[in-house]
Structure 1
């Protein structure tokens, strides 16, 4: 069944590659529709001043979303130690999907497998449509996509869209964080915690000069704020 699906979709891609101008215009139209302003706009804040590098978020993500060993939707990267012993400290940063409003991965996908959910603004993947061409992996400026060795489709963080979020829960990483270093919510709700934290703290986003408009924010740790 899996092989039949991929043969069908690959054949479709071949047809698309030789499409007429009218088909290309239809593709552009569909892309513009995908960029329509969602009714909800989810975002995530990683507060590096609170992160202790315990990686509980990584474990929760893997278990909740059945992520196979050898690949990961989320990584906490540690750098350091900095400073002189015994006053040394480490820095922890999050590497995961940025959920761009103008997502290069979506723009290059030939089958529509990569898409932006109109209701939430979440960048997601339809594994059934994915043919494993890896265009999205090449196009992502944040280098966070991978091919799932079980589904053989592109994979990444989707804010637990099909698991916890679908059940009205917080993303697994947010729920598991013992220091509340992760804040998730709707940017369009002025009363949401994510909006209140953004208003109260200076934040950074990665590679904003590319015009991708990422929705993963960082509260950057200052030297010595996180010590072990």
Structure 2
């Protein structure tokens, strides 16, 4: 965790800041600048290249403690019974083996080809230059088209604001040169965050040195959240939020962990 933090902070030479992030994403005043990659929004490194954020989740280190979930709720003022990130816990049964508990941290995958963007009738959801998928809360009308389009079940309608809400990779923190709250708080160092455009970053090294998987690869969304050690029993499986229990299958069981 410390190595990841030092590497992250050391890579950022200049951080330029737009308007402050709102609960759902950003304000209308800053949305156009962020979406077009204006100089007031993009995070760049010391050598001047534009950062492209990504996350590598090492499931070998995740213990399902939900510290990331709690940190996200506190940092982003997430309303009760909603989650921007959550660790789903599964019991996997394999032939002639004892049941195994498998953790699956889930969040917005900040796809390079996000299906949530084209379905938005008011262009409230957009792709920022540093790779984040954000929501302009001042434009969002709460139609939930993007919620339905997301193949990762990573969006919800905030019942307090009546707008779409989701993980922003803690946009307001990365703009200040800080790690996302879930990464900062992960006690096992399972969540790793950094610049995918930098071949020397920790996340780039992890992608080179490990076999990685993504959720729902058949959707061709080109996600920027990768997993090390994803059990094949969960390949393509994305469960709902903590309050939702998907149908049980013969070899995989979902357990509510909050």
Residue 209 of structure 2 corresponds to: 200
SS of the residue 1:146 aligns to:
strand
Contact 2:194 2:203 in 1 (8 A): yes
Deviations 1:154-180, CA, capped at 9 Å, x for gaps: 011110002x22221100000000110
Match of 1:152 among 149, 162, 165: 162
Shift of 1:34: 6.6
Task: Determine which structure has the larger helix proportion and give its number.
Answer: 1
Residue 74 of structure 1 corresponds to: 85
> Structure 1: how far apart are the matches of 2:220 and 2:100?
34
> Structure 2: how far apart are the matches of 1:63 and 1:72?
11
> Structure 2: how far apart are the matches of 1:221 and 1:128?
37
Residue correspondence of structure 1 range 1-228 to structure 2 within 5 A? 39-80=50-91, 89-118=100-129, 120-162=130-172, 164-220=173-229
Shift of 1:58: 0.3
Shift of 1:207: 1.8
> Structure 1: how far apart are the matches of 2:149 and 2:230?
29
Please tell me whether Structure 1 or Structure 2 has the larger radius of gyration of its CA atoms.
Answer: 1
Deviations 1:12-70, CA, capped at 9 Å, x for gaps: xxxxxxxxxxxxxxxxxx9xx879xx832111111111000000000000001111111
SS of the residue 1:105 aligns to:
coil
Give the 4+ runs in structure 1 shifted more than 3 A. none
Is there any run of 5+ residues in structure 1 with no aligned partner, and where?
Answer: 1-29, 224-228
Shift of 1:208: 2.1
Aligned Cα root-mean-square deviation (Å): 2.3
> Structure 2: how far apart are the matches of 1:82 and 1:68?
34
Contact 1:99 1:123 in 2 (8 A): yes
The total of aligned residue pairs comes to: 187
The structure-2 alpha-carbon separation of the partners of 1:222 and 1:155, relative to structure 1 and needing over 3 Å to count, comes to closer
> Structure 2: how far apart are the matches of 1:143 and 1:89?
24
Task: Determine which structure has the larger strand proportion and give its number.
Answer: 2
Is there any run of 5+ residues in structure 2 with no aligned partner, and where?
Answer: 1-31, 43-49, 233-258
